[in-house]
Structure 1
Amino acid sequence: MTGTSLPIAGEATLRRYVRSLFRRHRRAFGIVIAAHTVAAGAALVGPIVLGGLVEGLSTDLSTARVDLAAGVFLVALVIQTVFTRITRLRAGILGEEVLADLREDFLARAVNLPTGVVERAGTGDLVSRTTTDVDRLNHAVRDAVPEIVIACITGLFVGGALVITAPQLAVVWLVSVPLLVVSSRWYFKRAPQSYRAESATYASVSASIAETVDAGQTTELYRLGPQRTAITDARIARWISWERYTLWLRTCWFPVIEAGYVIPLVGVLAYGGWLVSQGTISIGQLTTALLLTQMLVEPIDLILMWYDELQVGQASLARLVGVQEVPDPETDPSLSPVDDRLVVDDVRFGYRAGRDVLHGIDLDVAPGERLALVGPSGAGKSTLGRLLAGIYAPRTGTVEMGGAALSMMTAEAVRTQVALVNQEHHVFVGTVRDNLLLARPDADDEALLAALDAVDATPWVAELPDGLGTRVGTGGHGLAPGQSQQLALARLILADPHTLVLDEATSLLDPRAARHLERSLDAVLEGRTVIAIAHRLHTAYDADRIAVVDGGRITELGSHDELVAADGAYAALWRSWQDAD
């Protein structure tokens, strides 16, 4: 069910998102610019004062003038130091605020992604965006953006001062402009897509490792280790090849840029010396111009260096913002089921275009009915269960609850009607009470204990150090797999949907405990519609009807006794299970 990566944001989406971030933080951004404008202006005092002193050497340089120049320079230095500190501090705070917004925006969108989209993309892609891409963007937002803004302001001030002081020498910089522009255009034409490819291939490596670890038992059982290793090695090789390519781009670009800094400095010194010898400019102007030229190298270097870092950040930002481009499913908020009847009409569905997993499924589940889905592994039982739970929308046909198509109802509305409980159970960091209140925030402790009692979890909860107040999850009290699953089932009872789709909901319990838990649930689930994807046939035995799924089709439908009497596929499964038992 994996293989379809989440989208990567295009240029238009990125520009809109960056503009929205700027609007949110325009006041803080303005403070940074204003503070550094003062700092940059104060930084110009040093070269101008020193140039004046050098000029004074050829006339009459009094002690008072030196003292005045020193005093002015000291004051300017203090102002520059104070406002530089303010700039760095405010820029750092701004970076943290922007980074917090990026994380919150991503999380807010990620948790609202359609479940089917996340399942198709796989966890590796989503996890790599929340870890690797956030880490890379962390450096860009905290350092690159503030540094580029500061460098641009400094460059404008220093460049303007150079033009005013010695316009003839400012022209020397034009010699380096073609070199800087051409090499930078060559680099930045290739760098962004290369960094994106590097991030994408790293995500595929993470996905491969995560899938292999998650399916560790299956990998070992079917001796798929060499195959999984080969797949992972191939993905790592692609990732390394992109890493090498981006490194090659930098090794070509950086030396050219360094040459572009040296040429203006040498040119100003040589051309300025000739102009001084011709009497066109004074020695003081040359001194000031040389100092300003040296000062101009740093902001330009910072702009180019951090812009390169920004390319990495832009690639990561495109992946983070890409989740914004996942289209929300078309829904009709006004849709409301008239009853609890679940009807499947000629449903076809596939994870990939042209390859259906389900073929022409028809099913009518009455309110309060217990239906078991049985069949061989890979027959399509779990896929059908996800369609019945409203997680996937059929390619053709309809899945309706009380006359309302589940695919057209909002996710919130669907969850109040039907819920899927599968093998994946989650214990969130917090207390047992916190974990249960996720399903019903207004529930009191009495309701929570009743839900735990319904799934026979009361004994072990009572033995916890602080009962409902015991912290569980990462860093808290460890729960056994069966206990974690009971906690998930208790949440289900509190959520109180009228239709439940159980996909191996008790698979992590031993057979005796699973049987006991299922019997306990009988009383709780009385009056609800229950669709159980049965891997243990005793679950099917207890059902009102059994649907045998094979090859993406329902091949048999009826009660246990009817299907055994028919002596078909179910009867063979039943005899095989009894013999094994």
Structure 2
Amino acid sequence: MRGARRFGVPEPAYDPSAPEDVTILPVGTPATVRSYVRALLRRHRRTFLLLVTVNSVAVIASMVGPRLLGEVVDDLAAGDRDLRLGRITALFAVALLVQTVFTQQVRLRGAMLGEEMLADLREDFLVRSVGLPPGVLERAGTGDLLSRITTDIDRLAEAMRKAVPQLAVGLVWTALLVGALCVTAPPLALAVVLALPVLLVGCRWYFRRAPHAYRAEAAGYAAVAAALAETVDAGRTVEAHRLGARRIALSERRIAEWTAWERRTMWLRTVLFPTINLSNMLIIGGVLLLGGVFVLEGWISVGQLTTGALLAQMLVEPVGLILRWYDELQVAQVSLARLVGVREIEPDDGTSGLAPQDKAMRATDVRFGYLPDVDVLHGVTLDVAPGSRVALVGPSGAGKSTLGRLLAGIYGPRRGEVTLGGARLSEMRAEEVRRHVALVNQEHHVFVGALRDNLLLARPGADDAELWAALGAVNADDWATGLPNGLDTEVGSGGLAITPAQAQQIALARLVLADPHTLVLDEATSLLDPRAARHLERSLGQVLEGRTVVAIAHRLHTAHDADVIAVVENGRISELGSHDALVAAQGPYAALWRSWHG
């Protein structure tokens, strides 16, 4: 690969496929990809075998014409004038009809196979993705995951719909034609042998370089998507800190790196396609030249040469079909590796299946950081008694949200431990953690569909009375009762527009339905005005009576109602106690309280 410069277009020096530079989600190994493809083909083996069968019939029927023509030529060469044209015409018409019918079936069965495999691939990726540990998805961010869901799926759609069926068709087609050529005139098979080295050398050169180039191209696009998505998401921050020029420069660098790999892959194809054309010319030319010599020597008849030449001409299409779609599969293989890469991540936070013995939560000497050897939390210890209200307060960037995510089991500590009922959250299955602890933050999603379906996500078996009670508990029944179709009203994209505050209330109603005994609230009411937020929190307080609540308090009135307040500063808990005790202590919390009240 390093010697590519002497062939025309050098390989870009920057490798955007490097995972540490672009992505956190892994790319599947060749073994993982092969295993998945085998499983997918086994799942659809009946459709695949049916496709091969109808294709074989269509190919065999297409060879009847050359065979009949060869017999006619031999008869004429032997001086036979009784050509039995009626019989030949009838046989040719039947063969043509069979070929037409079964060719249509090939297209139909190929399309069905492609759509079924594509549907399975999409479903497998979605199911696997939603089963990933939440911490993995949070670290991955939106750019890489979005590029896999959109760009990689789009690339695979073409491959699954056309490349896989067409490649199977081309292989069967080629095998039958070569077999027919060997049966009809074995010496003419030498023409295929002569063209084979050229084809193999050219393809070997190409396919040794193509996978890496396509993989780098796909990763480069992911880097572009990530840079643009981050800039758009943080648009106000970029504007406030005057980072526009820096973000533009980053985007331009990513685009330049991506387009460099685009040029590289395009140049590789300009080498492959002429090689294919040359091999086709060698096959046809070899058959004609060798066939002429063999006819003169009396080794084959003129009719055999005619049939062989027609079969060789017919070989051009399936060989081109194979190489064309195999090239497409190089792109698809990269996208497939990126999609099945999530299969290499354990879907659970742990495998021990530990269950908590009680509802007490404890963090002991917890250290955690998002980057290697860079801690955000430094030796944090915190006890959360069952049924208590704990508020985490402190300046922005102090580590409150990070500590809340550790207590919710989203992340696992680098050192120390976080336990629930004596069981380490990092060693519990994700499903078990979610049964006991729920995290609600300011990011809420309303799924496209009925309001009822949005709520039933939390408790599938809930009846209408329970759904309305959950909405009432978060003061959402006022606007929900006014919906045109009540719980069956379509919301989300394409349906009724939901305000951010209403989306937050729907998320909190799901929380009421899920009924966990421990809640971690991170800015759960941030999108409501202070008066509405205060009213909502009081309503929640009535509904969640007896449950453990860890609230990351950005408004200090939330901390005022807590049993215990933990002041987080620079990744450490600097103060711990009740509101009155901390105000009397005249420490950091008291300063925050005075600042809050002016």
CA shift, 1:207, in A, is: 1.8
| Residue identity matched to 1:162 | L
Q: 1:123 maps to which residue? A: 142
Distance 1:401 1:2 in 2: 36
Q: 1:448 maps to which residue? A: 467
Distance 1:54 1:4 in 2: 65
Distance 2:593 2:162 in 1: 65
Distance 1:550 1:155 in 2: 71
Distance 2:355 2:122 in 1: 35
May I ask how many residue pairs the two structures share in their alignment?
579
Match runs of 1:142-157 below 5 Å: 142-157=161-176
CA shift, 1:335, in A, is: 2.5
- The counterpart of 1:239, out of the listed 258, 265, 268, is 258
- Unpaired segments of 5 or more residues in structure 1? none
User: Are 1:198 and 2:217 counterparts?
Assistant: yes
Q: 1:501 maps to which residue? A: 520
- The counterpart of 2:371, out of the listed 352, 359, 370, is 352
| Residue identity matched to 1:517 | L
CA shift, 1:218, in A, is: 2.1
Q: 1:567 maps to which residue? A: 586
Measured at CA, do residues 47 and 231 of structure 1 come closer, stay the same or move farther in structure 2, by a change above 3 Å? same
Distance 1:72 1:3 in 2: 62
Q: Is the 8 A contact 2:470 2:512 kept in 1?
A: yes
Q: 1:166 maps to which residue? A: 185
Choose 552-561 or 294-303, whichever is displaced more.
Answer: 552-561
Match runs of 1:399-438 below 5 Å: 399-438=418-457
Q: 2:79 maps to which residue? A: 60
Distance 1:496 1:188 in 2: 55
| Residue identity matched to 2:314 | M
Distance 2:300 2:152 in 1: 53
CA shift, 1:137, in A, is: 0.6
SS in 2 for 1:171: helix
| Residue identity matched to 2:150 | T
User: Are 1:41 and 2:60 counterparts?
Assistant: yes
| Residue identity matched to 1:32 | L
SS in 2 for 1:125: helix
CA shift, 1:504, in A, is: 0.5
Q: 1:251 maps to which residue? A: 270
Q: Is the 8 A contact 2:195 2:282 kept in 1?
A: yes
CA shift, 1:20, in A, is: 0.9
- The counterpart of 1:225, out of the listed 244, 252, 257, is 244
| Residue identity matched to 2:537 | E
Distance 2:551 2:228 in 1: 31
Q: Is the 8 A contact 1:137 1:316 kept in 2?
A: yes
Match runs of 1:351-370 below 5 Å: 351-370=370-389
Distance 2:309 2:25 in 1: 52
Q: 2:511 maps to which residue? A: 492
Q: 2:479 maps to which residue? A: 460
Choose 185-194 or 560-569, whichever is displaced more.
Answer: 560-569
Choose 167-176 or 285-294, whichever is displaced more.
Answer: 167-176
SS in 2 for 1:540: helix
Q: Is the 8 A contact 1:51 1:284 kept in 2?
A: yes
Q: Is the 8 A contact 1:454 1:521 kept in 2?
A: yes
| Residue identity matched to 1:495 | A
| Residue identity matched to 1:257 | I
Matched residues, percent identical?
A: 62
Measured at CA, do residues 414 and 282 of structure 1 come closer, stay the same or move farther in structure 2, by a change above 3 Å? same
Measured at CA, do residues 424 and 95 of structure 1 come closer, stay the same or move farther in structure 2, by a change above 3 Å? same
- The counterpart of 1:276, out of the listed 288, 295, 316, is 295
Q: 2:596 maps to which residue? A: 577
Q: Is the 8 A contact 1:53 1:66 kept in 2?
A: no
CA shift, 1:238, in A, is: 1.4
User: Are 1:545 and 2:553 counterparts?
Assistant: no
SS in 2 for 1:532: strand
Q: Is the 8 A contact 2:118 2:160 kept in 1?
A: yes
Measured at CA, do residues 107 and 2 of structure 1 come closer, stay the same or move farther in structure 2, by a change above 3 Å? farther
- The counterpart of 1:315, out of the listed 314, 334, 344, is 334
Q: Is the 8 A contact 2:40 2:117 kept in 1?
A: yes
Distance 2:313 2:351 in 1: 64
Choose 501-510 or 167-176, whichever is displaced more.
Answer: 167-176
CA shift, 1:569, in A, is: 2.1
SS in 1 for 2:359: coil
Q: Is the 8 A contact 2:218 2:334 kept in 1?
A: yes
Choose 565-574 or 341-350, whichever is displaced more.
Answer: 565-574
Distance 1:472 1:262 in 2: 61
CA shift, 1:329, in A, is: 4.4
| Residue identity matched to 2:228 | I
Choose 540-549 or 149-158, whichever is displaced more.
Answer: 540-549
Measured at CA, do residues 4 and 312 of structure 1 come closer, stay the same or move farther in structure 2, by a change above 3 Å? closer
CA shift, 1:272, in A, is: 2.1
Measured at CA, do residues 74 and 61 of structure 1 come closer, stay the same or move farther in structure 2, by a change above 3 Å? farther
CA shift, 1:573, in A, is: 2.0
Distance 2:22 2:31 in 1: 26
Measured at CA, do residues 303 and 334 of structure 1 come closer, stay the same or move farther in structure 2, by a change above 3 Å? closer
User: Are 1:214 and 2:242 counterparts?
Assistant: no
CA shift, 1:296, in A, is: 1.0
Match runs of 1:7-18 below 5 Å: 7-18=26-37
Cα RMSD of the aligned pairs, angstroms, is: 1.7
Choose 477-486 or 434-443, whichever is displaced more.
Answer: 434-443
Q: Is the 8 A contact 2:366 2:379 kept in 1?
A: yes
TM-score (norm 2): 0.94
Q: 2:406 maps to which residue? A: 387
Q: 2:91 maps to which residue? A: 72
| Residue identity matched to 1:234 | R
CA shift, 1:4, in A, is: 4.6
Distance 2:71 2:112 in 1: 39
| Residue identity matched to 2:156 | L
| Residue identity matched to 2:144 | D
CA shift, 1:307, in A, is: 0.4
CA shift, 1:333, in A, is: 5.6
CA shift, 1:64, in A, is: 4.9
SS in 2 for 1:57: helix
Choose 357-366 or 202-211, whichever is displaced more.
Answer: 202-211
Distance 1:181 1:74 in 2: 38
Distance 1:566 1:226 in 2: 47
| Residue identity matched to 1:370 | R
Distance 1:227 1:564 in 2: 44
CA shift, 1:332, in A, is: 5.3
CA shift, 1:461, in A, is: 0.9
| Residue identity matched to 1:521 | L
Q: 2:17 maps to which residue? A: none
Distance 1:3 1:372 in 2: 36
CA shift, 1:220, in A, is: 2.4
| Residue identity matched to 1:314 | Q
- The counterpart of 2:495, out of the listed 464, 471, 476, is 476
Q: Is the 8 A contact 2:390 2:551 kept in 1?
A: yes
Q: Is the 8 A contact 1:53 1:61 kept in 2?
A: no
Q: Deviations over 1:83-132 (max 9, x none)?
A: 12122211211111111111111111111000001111112212211111
CA shift, 1:492, in A, is: 0.5
Q: 2:7 maps to which residue? A: none
CA shift, 1:3, in A, is: 6.2
Choose 369-378 or 323-332, whichever is displaced more.
Answer: 323-332
- Unpaired segments of 5 or more residues in structure 2? 1-19
CA shift, 1:431, in A, is: 1.5
SS in 2 for 1:474: coil
SS in 2 for 1:131: helix
- The counterpart of 1:87, out of the listed 82, 94, 106, is 106
| Dislocated runs of 4+, deviation >4 Å | 1-4
Q: Deviations over 1:134-158 (max 9, x none)?
A: 1111111111111111111111111
